[in-house]
Amino acid sequence: LPRRNTALLIQLRTGHAPLNHHLHTIGRADTQRCSGCGAAKETVLHFVLQCAKFSLHRRVFLGPLGRNGHRLDYLLSTPEGTSQLFKFINATKRL
């Protein structure tokens, strides 16, 4: 993986990604709420698998993985999963 993707993958795995839940914890965001839907804490799980704002992107990029596209552990730890995950992330332009 390119260095940027490697760093981002580690951040996603540890929950230290630049998403509002973590940013609020370290005092860099005013709220933990999702900037996309405002409905929940913006965690890695919420961003990747739950946020309504990115449901189309999720269907396009994670849907082809079948059931595995709904498993965060698969997306963060397998070559096929991480490949599709980065396509999803790039399409959302969130990170």
Question: Closest Cα to residue 70, out of 84, 87, 91?
Answer: 84
3-state secondary structure 31-85: CCECCCCCCCECCHHHHHHHCHHHHHHHHHHCHHHHHHHHCHHHHHHCHHHHHHH
* Domain residue limits at 36: 3-92
pLDDT tens, position by position, 63-93: 999 999 999 999 999 999 999 999 999 999 9
Q: In angstroms, what CA-CA distances link 54 with 4, 18, 27, 28, 82?
A: 22, 17, 26, 23, 17
53 confidence band (pLDDT: 50, 70, 90): very high
pTM of the entire structure? 0.94
CB 88 within 8 A of CB 76: no
**The total number of structural domains that make up the chain:** 1
- 41 φ, ψ to 5°? -65, 135
